[in-house]
C-alpha cells in the first residue's frame, strides 16, 4: 500500500491550480439521472471517489464518457492533472440499484436515491454504514422522501423506495444536512407541485448543484439560503456545467503555506466561499490577498494560535478542522477547537501527538498548545481530512515523516504530492 514520505522544514513557494470540488461533483454527476438527455461537466476532479461514482452510474445503464486534461505546473517533473470533461447520458437507465459493494466504499452514493426515485419511480440503494468520523445516519433523506409521498423501507440493508410520482411538500430537516438537502432538492425537481425545504444547507456546493439543475430546466429559488423552493416540472433537459473550485482543497493549501512559513498563489480559486477560513488565517497573522480568480498568502515568521468552532456554512467548515489542528500545533499560544458536526472527528490528534504535538481532548473539544517544532515519525491516516492534516504537519516537522494509508488522500485531493512538489516540498510516494 502506498505511503507518503515527506522531508519537512521547507517553506512553500510558487503557484498551483486548484481543482474542481469533489463535494460539488458527486451530487452533480447524480443529477444527470434526472434527464434522458446528455449532461456535460467540465473541471471534474480526477479522484478515486469520482471514479467510483462513474462506475456506479454506468452499472445503472448510464453512458459515461470521460476526457482527462493535464497541464505542467511550474517546473514540476510531471504534468499535473487538471480537470476532466465528463458527459453522462442516462437515456438508457435500466437498473435503479446502488449495490452494497460500491456504496460501502463511498457514502456519497446515497445521492443517487432522490434522482433515481424521481426519474424511475423506484430505487434500491444500499444503506451506507458508519464511517471513521461518525455514525452518519440518512434518516433525514428518508424522512423527506416519505413526506413527498414515497413508500420507503429498509430491507436486507437496502433502502427501498417507490413512488409513481413524488408530490411537492413542506420539508423540515432536524439538523442541517448537506447531502440530505441535495438529495431532496433533486427529487423535488420532477415532483408534482411545489416543495419547500426549510433548515436547508447553505453550502456553496448546494448552490452549484442548484445552478446546474436550473440550467437543466428546473425551477429552484432560494439556494444558498436556509429555505429552498422547488417548483416541480414534468421533465428536465441536457446542459453543460463547469464544477466550482474546491474550497476545502484551497483551504488545505493555504494552511500548508501558513504552517511552513511560505508564500504561494492558488489559481482557479474562489475566496468568496472561504470567508470563515480566510478570516481565521488572517488571525494567525497571515497576509491574504484575494484576486478575481486566485488567492495569494504570505505567512508570518510564527503563527498565532486561533480557536475555532465548526458549524454549517457560512460558519467554519468541519472539513478544515483537522488542517487547523496541524497549524495550531506549531503556533504561538493555545487554541480551543470545538467540533460540533461529527462526533468522532479528532482521530488525527493522536497521530499529531506522535509528531510531538501537545493536544488534550475533552469530548468534542480539543486544547492545542503550540510547540516551536515537531519531529518526523511514522503516522497513519484515518480519513480524508485527517490525512491532509498529517501532510501539513509532515511539511513542518524536522526530519522525515512517513504517512501510511494514504488511499484516503486519493479520494479527495487531485495530484496532491505533484502539486506540493511544484511548491517546493520534498515529498514522494513510496511503497
Ligand atoms: C457532507 O457530508 C460532505 N460530504 C462532508 O465532507 C462534510 O463533512 C459534511 O457535509 C458537513 O459539511 C459530501 O458533500 C459528499 P451532513 P454529509 O448530512 O452530507 C447528521 C469530506 O471530508 N445527519 O451535512 O454526509 C450527520 O450525522 C466529507 O469531504 C443525520 O443525523 O453530512 C452529521 O452529524 C466528510 N441524519 C450532521 O447531520 C441525516 O439524515 C451533518 O451531516 C443526515 C445527517
Residue 73 has pLDDT above 70, yes or no: no
What percent of the chain is predicted at pLDDT more than 90? 93
> Ligand 1 center to residue 177 CA distance, Å?
6
User: Within 10 A of 147 (CB to CB), how many other CB atoms are there?
Assistant: 17
Q: Order across the sheet with 378-380: list the strands.
A: 378-380, 400-404, 3-7, 426-430
Contact in structure between 343 and 368 (CB atoms under 8 Å): no
Ligand 1: nearest atom to the Cα of 317: 12
Query: Ligand 1: which of 26, 136, 186 to mutate, most ligand atoms within 8 Å of CB?
Result: 136
Q: Helix or strand or coil: residue 53?
A: helix
Residues 137-154, mean pLDDT to the nearest whole number? 97
**Which residue has the least CA distance to atom 25 on ligand 1?**
179
With a 6 A CB cut-off, is 143 part of the ligand 1 pocket? Answer: no
Which ligand 1 atom sits nearest the alpha carbon of residue 384?
A: 22
Q: Is 181 in the pocket of ligand 1 (CB under 6 A)?
A: no
Q: Is 417 in the pocket of ligand 1 (CB under 6 A)?
A: no
What is the CA(145)–ligand 1 centre distance, in A? 18
Whether pLDDT at 289 is above 90: yes
Q: Is the CB of 310 within 6 Å of ligand 1?
A: no
Region of 218 on the Ramachandran plot (φ > 0 left; ψ -120 to 50 alpha; else beta): beta
Provide the terminal-to-terminal Cα distance of the chain, rounded to the nearest Å.
6
- Cβ(381)–Cβ(393) below 8 Å: no
What is the phi/psi pair of residue 48, to 5°? -60, -40
Q: Show which residues are catalytic.
A: 131
pLDDT, averaged across the chain: 95
Q: Average pLDDT for residues 88-112, to the nearest whole number?
A: 95
Is the distance from the beta carbon of residue 179 to the nearest atom of ligand 1 less than 6 Å?
A: yes
Going along 25-175, which residue ranges are E strands? 39-44, 63-71, 80-89, 97-98, 122-126, 151-155, 158-162, 170-172
pLDDT value, residue 131: 82
279 lines ligand 1 (CB under 6 A): no
Number of separate helices (H) and strands (E) present in the chain? 14, 24
Using an 8 Å Cβ cutoff, are 253 and 419 in contact? yes
Task: Write out pLDDT tens, residues 201-255.
Answer: 999 999 999 999 999 999 999 999 999 999 999 999 999 999 999 999 999 999 9
Interatomic CA distance for residues 230 and 242, integer angstroms: 22
Q: For residue 281, report the distance from its CA to the centre of ligand 1, in Å.
A: 24
- Kind plus residue range of the DSSP H or E element containing 229: strand 227-231
What is the predicted pLDDT for the residue at 129? 77
pLDDT digits (tens, 9 = 90+) for 3-40: 999 999 999 999 999 999 999 999 999 999 999 999 99
Q: Is 409 in the pocket of ligand 1 (CB under 6 A)?
A: no
Minimum CA distance residue for ligand 1 atom 22: 319
Residue with cell 526530519: 399
**Cα(178) to centroid of ligand 1, in Å?**
6
pLDDT at 420 over 80: yes
Q: How confident is the model at residue 130 (pLDDT cuts 50, 70, 90)?
A: confident
Q: How far is the CA of 303 from the centre of ligand 1 (A)?
A: 30
Q: How much is the average pLDDT of 393-407? A: 97
* d(C-alpha 431, C-alpha 1), whole Å: 6
What sign has the CA pseudo-torsion 45, 46, 49, 54? positive
pLDDT of residue 81: 52
d(CA 179, ligand 1 centre) in Å: 7
pLDDT of residue 82: 61
Specify the pTM. Answer: 0.97
Amino acid at each position: 500500500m502506498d505511503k507518503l514520505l515527506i522531508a519537512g522544514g521547507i517553506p512553500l513557494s510558487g503557484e498551483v491550480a486548484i481543482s474542481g470540488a469533489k463535494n460539488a461533483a458527486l451530487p452533480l454527476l447524480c443529477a444527470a439521472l434526472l434527464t434522458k438527455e446528455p449532461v456535460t461537466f467540465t473541471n471534474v476532479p480526477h479522484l478515486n471517489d469520482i471514479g467510483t461514482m462513474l462506475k456506479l452510474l454506468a452499472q445503472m445503464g448510464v453512458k459515461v464518457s470521460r476526457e482527462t486534461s493535464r497541464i505542467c505546473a511550474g517546473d514540476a517533473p510531471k504534468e499535473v492533472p487538471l480537470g476532466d470533461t465528463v458527459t453522462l447520458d442516462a437515456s438508457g437507465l435500466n437498473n435503479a440499484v446502488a449495490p452494497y459493494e460500491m456504496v460501502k466504499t463511498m457514502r456519497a452514493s446515497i445521492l443517487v436515491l432522490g434522482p433515481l426515485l424521481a426519474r424511475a419511480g423506484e430505487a434500491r440503494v444500499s444503506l451506507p454504514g458508519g464511517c471513521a468520523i461518525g455514525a452518519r445516519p440518512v434518516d433525514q433523506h428518508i424522512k423527506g422522501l416519505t413526506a413527498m409521498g414515497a413508500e420507503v423501507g429498509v430491507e436486507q440493508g437496502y433502502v427501498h423506495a417507490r413512488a409513481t410520482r413524488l408530490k411537492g411538500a413542506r420539508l423540515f430537516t432536524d439538523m442541517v444536512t448537506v447531502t440530505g438537502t441535495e438529495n431532496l432538492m433533486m427529487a423535488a425537481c420532477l415532483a408534482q407541485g411545489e416543495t419547500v425545504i426549510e433548515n436547508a444547507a447553505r453550502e456553496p456546493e448546494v448552490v452549484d448543484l442548484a445552478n446546474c439543475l436550473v440550467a437543466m430546466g428546473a425551477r429552484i429559488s432560494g439556494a444558498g439560503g436556509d429555505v429552498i423552493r422547488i417548483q416541480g416540472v414534468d421533465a428536465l433537459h441536457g446542459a453543460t456545467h463547469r464544477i466550482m473550485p474546491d474550497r476545502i482543497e484551497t483551504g488545505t493549501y493555504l494552511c500548508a503555506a501558513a504552517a511552513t512559513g511560505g508564500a504561494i498563489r492558488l489559481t482557479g480559486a474562489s475566496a468568496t466561499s472561504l470567508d470563515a477560513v480566510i478570516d481565521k488565517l488572517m488571525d494567525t497573522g497571515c497576509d491574504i490577498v484575494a484576486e478575481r480568480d486566485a488567492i495569494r498568502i504570505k505567512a508570518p515568521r510564527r503563527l498565532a494560535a486561533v480557536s475555532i468552532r465548526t458549524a454549517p456554512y457560512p460558519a467554519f467548515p468541519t472539513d478544515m478542522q483537522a488542517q487547523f489542528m496541524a497549524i495550531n500545533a506549531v503556533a504561538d499560544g493555545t487554541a480551543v477547537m470545538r467540533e460540533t458536526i461529527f462526533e468522532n472527528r479528532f482521530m488525527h490528534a493522536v497521530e499529531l501527538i506522535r509528531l510531538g504535538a501537545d493536544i488534550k481532548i475533552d469530548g468534542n473539544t480539543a486544547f492545542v498548545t503550540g510547540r516551536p517544532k515537531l519531529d518526523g515519525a511514522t503516522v497513519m491516516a484515518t480519513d480524508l481530512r485527517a490525512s491532509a492534516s498529517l501532510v501539513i504537519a509532515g511539511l513542518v516537522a524536522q526530519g522525515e515523516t512517513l504517512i501510511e494509508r494514504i488511499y484516503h488522500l486519493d479520494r479527495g485531493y487531485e495530484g496532491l504530492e505533484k502539486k506540493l512538489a511544484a511548491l517546493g516540498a520534498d515529498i514522494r510516494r513510496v511503497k
